């Protein structure tokens, strides 16, 4: 009986997690950009034809446009694995920025899809701290217009990749901190 209760609770928690990662709204913004929003995340999906500024040329040639289902899978992987992948907490906390696994809702995402040389599907996700992109006017934030590349900034800006075939996260990269002296 105790085992059945534990199994039931685990099933409920898993269903809640999966539901929290569902896309509830999407809107095609252009031929290469689609805005997506879920209960705990929002971001923009770039089509396979969008110029991909972050990875090598050989990867750029093997692109795909992530589907809503693939974004939901990547978000679920993120929820399940980011704390262990982020165990070192490099460039996080205090004036370096938030501890990322404790603040996932604080970031907007940019999603790019590509195939590995082995043919596996990977979603590259770039994270940008929402608070840095609040607009006082009705102007569309730049993260919704194109790929954003930020140097430094600590954990306000970071990236990770989700291998959909292996159901795993890899390549966590948290931006550095500018250590140059003030002039």
pTM: 0.84
Count of CB atoms situated within 10 Å of the CB of 79: 17
More confident residue, 159 or 180: 159
Per-residue pLDDT tens for 162-171? 999 999 999 9
Residue 91 has pLDDT above 90, yes or no: no
145 in Cβ contact with 127 (< 8 Å): no
Contacts for 135 with CB less than 8 Å, ≥ 6 apart: 141
């Amino acid at each position: 009986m105790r085992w059945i209760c534990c199994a039931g609770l685990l099933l409920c928690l898993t269903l809640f997690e999966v539901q929290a990662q569902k896309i509830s709204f999407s809107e095609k913004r252009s031929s290469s950009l689609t805005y997506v929003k879920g209960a705990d995340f929002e971001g923009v999906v770039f089509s396979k034809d969008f110029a991909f500024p972050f990875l090598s040329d050989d990867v750029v040639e093997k692109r795909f446009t992530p589907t809503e289902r693939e974004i939901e899978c990547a978000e679920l992987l993120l929820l399940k694995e980011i704390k262990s992948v982020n165990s070192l907490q490099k460039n996080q906390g205090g004036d370096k920025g938030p501890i990322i696994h404790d603040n996932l809702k604080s970031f907007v995402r940019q999603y790019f899809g590509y195939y590995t040389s082995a043919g596996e599907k990977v979603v590259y996700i770039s994270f940008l701290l929402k608070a840095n992109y609040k607009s006082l006017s009705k102007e569309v934030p730049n993260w919704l217009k194109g790929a954003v590349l930020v140097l430094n900034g600590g954990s306000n800006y970071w990236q990770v990749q989700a291998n959909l075939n292996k159901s795993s996260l890899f390549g966590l990269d948290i931006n550095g901190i500018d250590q140059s002296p003030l002039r």
